[in-house]
Structure 1
Amino acid sequence: MIILPAIDIKDGNCVRLLKGDFGTVEKVAEDPFQTAAGFLKAGARYLHMVDLDGAKDAKMVNRDLFTSLARETSLKIELGGGIRTLDAVEYYLANGIERVILGSIAVKNPEFVELAVKEYGDRISVGIDAKDEMVATEGWLDTSDVHFLTLAKEMEKMGVKNIIFTDISKDGTLSGPNLEQLRAIHEAVSCDITASGGIRDIQDIRNLKRLGVWGTICGKSIYKGTLDLEEAILQAANKGDSIC
């Protein structure tokens, strides 16, 4: 299993939110470049990043920061937030971002996702963020009438290979991931599933690994010190503890 430490950007700062509420913005680190360097030193190979301003405004807001970081680190960066056009997808993928995450657009314009996947293959990931099992959009400010499993199956048919699933009620709470919903989506589709939201400690990493998900995004747990990133990476890489 892959561990993806997270850096969310708002107004150029490293922040975390509670359940996606922009009113709960908390600055958690001084500098995204130094933070990424620390993750690399701990053994990380991947980095999950979100443009929170972009997610809210439906456009690329902090793109220069992301592409600058991509040039300066050997971490493989996956990036979401405000990516609504093929030009935006192409820009990021041509400027060092390993994989882009399409979120709201997957609900509002699934044909766009299909076009992007045909063009860029597994460099396209889809983020499915659920509130009471229904998919949320626009930086989690709106909730659709689409069930998360329905969207997952639709994305699978379009050729999507990786889905990032977040139970919004768990995000930023350090209360543990929603294993029931993660198991449901993992069993419903053949896509690689990345778990996001609620991870607190090394036991959560063990539980997710046993579940068989492809990866796990860890944010607040690292910043608050409830999870040691180096230990999590070693645990995730321990083949003897997995039932996959």
Structure 2
Amino acid sequence: MVILPAIDIKDGNCVRLYKGDFSTVHKVAEDPLETAKRFEADGASFLHMVDLDGAKDARPQNADIFIEVAKNTSLKVEVGGGIRSLDTVEHYLRHGIDRVILGSAAVKDPIFVKEAVKEFDDRIVVGIDAKNGMVSVEGWLDSSSVHYLDLAKEMEKIGVAHIVYTDISKDGTLEGPNLNQLTRIKQAVSCNIIASGGISGIGDIRALKELGVYGAICGKSLYEGTLDLKEALQAAAE
């Protein structure tokens, strides 16, 4: 299983939110590049980065930060937030980003997702973020009438290889991931599932490993010190 430390960017700062609520934003680290280098030094190979301003504004706002991290570390960086065009996808991939995450676009513009997958194959990741099983869009500010399993199946048909699944009610809570929903999405599709939201400690990493998901995104737990990255990487590799 792959462990992906997370860096969320708002106004150029490393921040965390509670359940995706922008009013709860708080700074968790001084410098994105230094934070990424710290994760790299601890043995991480992957990094999950989110443009929170981009997600809210439906266009990239912090692209230079992500590209700087990709250029100055050996980490495989995946980026999401506000990506709505093939030009943006191509810009990121051409400048050292390993994978691009499409979220709201999966609901609002599946044809764009299909074109992106056709052109860039498994470098396209789809992010499915749900509240009470229903997909949220536009930086989690809007709800849709789409069930997370229906969207996952649609993305599988398009040819999407990787899905990041987040239960918004768990995100930033340190209450543990939603193993029930993760089990259901894993059984529903053949895509690689990356678990996001709620991971608190090493027990959660072991539970996700046992579940057989492809990857686990760890954010608040690393900043709060409830999870040791080296220990998580070791447990994931066992």
User: Given the two structures, how large is their TM-score scaled by the length of structure 2?
Assistant: 1.00
Give the match for residue 62 of structure 1: 62
Q: Secondary structure at the match of 2:64?
A: helix
Give the match for residue 49 of structure 1: 49
Q: Secondary structure at the match of 2:170?
A: coil
Give the match for residue 210 of structure 2: 210
Superposition RMSD in Å: 0.4
* Alignment partners' CA distance in 2, 1:63 and 1:38: 20
**CA deviation after TM superposition for structure 1 residue 81, in Å:** 0.2
Give the match for residue 141 of structure 1: 141
Q: Secondary structure at the match of 1:23?
A: strand
Give the match for residue 150 of structure 1: 150
**CA deviation after TM superposition for structure 1 residue 65, in Å:** 1.1
Give the partner amino acid of 2:70.
A
Give the partner amino acid of 2:198.
G
* Alignment partners' CA distance in 1, 2:38 and 2:68: 17
* Alignment partners' CA distance in 1, 2:33 and 2:154: 36
Give the partner amino acid of 1:87.
D
Decide which moves more: 63-72 or 189-198: 63-72
Could you tell me whether the CA contact under 8 Å between 2:33 and 2:68 is conserved in 1? no
**Between the two proteins, what is the percent identity of the paired residues?**
69
* Alignment partners' CA distance in 2, 1:67 and 1:228: 26
Corresponding position: 1:38 with 2:18: no
* Alignment partners' CA distance in 1, 2:36 and 2:178: 27
Give the match for residue 124 of structure 2: 124
* Alignment partners' CA distance in 2, 1:29 and 1:88: 27
Runs of 4+ aligned residues of structure 1 deviating over 3 Å after TM superposition are: none
Q: Secondary structure at the match of 2:61?
A: coil
* Alignment partners' CA distance in 2, 1:16 and 1:72: 23
Could you tell me whether the CA contact under 8 Å between 2:49 and 2:79 is conserved in 1? yes
Q: Deviations over 1:152-211 (max 9, x none)?
A: 000000000000000000000000000000000000000000000000000000000000
5+ long unaligned stretches in structure 2:
none
* Alignment partners' CA distance in 1, 2:34 and 2:177: 28
Q: Deviations over 1:204-228 (max 9, x none)?
A: 0000000000000000000000000
**CA deviation after TM superposition for structure 1 residue 64, in Å:** 1.0
Give the partner amino acid of 1:220.
K
How many residues get paired?
238
**CA deviation after TM superposition for structure 1 residue 68, in Å:** 1.3
Q: Secondary structure at the match of 1:33?
A: helix
Could you tell me whether the CA contact under 8 Å between 2:51 and 2:79 is conserved in 1? yes
* Alignment partners' CA distance in 2, 1:141 and 1:159: 27
1:94-243 aligned at under 5 Å gives the runs 94-238=94-238
5+ long unaligned stretches in structure 1:
239-244
* Alignment partners' CA distance in 1, 2:121 and 2:61: 25
* Alignment partners' CA distance in 2, 1:237 and 1:188: 25
* Alignment partners' CA distance in 1, 2:194 and 2:68: 25
* Alignment partners' CA distance in 2, 1:68 and 1:30: 15
Q: Secondary structure at the match of 2:175?
A: coil
* Alignment partners' CA distance in 2, 1:154 and 1:222: 33
**CA deviation after TM superposition for structure 1 residue 66, in Å:** 1.1
Could you tell me whether the CA contact under 8 Å between 2:127 and 2:163 is conserved in 1? yes
Could you tell me whether the CA contact under 8 Å between 2:125 and 2:161 is conserved in 1? yes
* Alignment partners' CA distance in 1, 2:33 and 2:163: 26
Give the match for residue 5 of structure 1: 5
Give the match for residue 26 of structure 1: 26
User: Given the two structures, how large is their TM-score scaled by the length of structure 1?
Assistant: 0.97
